[in-house]
Amino acid sequence: MQRVKLIKRLRSLRNLELFNIFFLPACMYFILSGRETIHWQPYVVSMFSICIILAQGVFYWHLKLQSIRQNETSLPPYSYRVFPFFKKANLLILAVYPVLFVLGKVISHVDFQITIWSHLLYIFSVLEYINYYNYQLSHDNLQDIRYLIRHKKIRRSPLWRDMQQHQGSC
């Protein structure tokens, strides 16, 4: 990919993820308030986890964009400590929803009224986690689709590859 195209793509990835951090909760608010939903807790927990992971994506794409602009071949050194921390913290954040679900079933004082929609939001947050830290689940350009067809498998995520590349160079 040409350098100019790559910079444009990274900028759009960063900006779209940043936009979604604000857009998705706003949509959730308008939908739930329009339906006069009483129990917002599962939606808020799910949306919080999505937004946290999206914010990490914004940070990653921004660092990647800066390194390309500065003709660097790798991310800044501190990022190789930050993203493994984020990865572990995400697992704790993602564990909150199932824990509250179980507590809501076991303890009568915990009112965690779930719906299929809150489950879908939670599943989306898990998929976002996988998309950033393990496998590239989003295929939004022709190159991604060609790879998928040619190799008949999902490729590793760019963040995962950057972290592995750094481990190999240490």
Residue 71 has pLDDT above 70, yes or no: yes
- How much is the average pLDDT of 5-29? 94
Q: Where in the sequence is the domain holding 70, given as residue range(s)?
A: 3-169
- pLDDT for 48 equals 97
pLDDT tens, position by position, 83-141: 999 999 999 999 999 998 888 777 766 666 778 888 999 999 999 999 999 998 887 76
Question: What is this structure's pTM?
Answer: 0.88
In Å, how far from its chain's centre is CA 31?
A: 22
Answer yes or no: are the C-beta atoms of 129 and 83 closer than 8 Å. Answer: no
pLDDT tens, position by position, 28-40: 999 888 887 777 8
- How much is the average pLDDT of 10-18? 95
CA–CA distances in Å: residue 101 to residues 18, 46, 92, 161, 169: 29, 12, 15, 34, 42
Domain count, the chain: 1
pLDDT tens, position by position, 41-64: 889 999 999 999 999 999 999 999
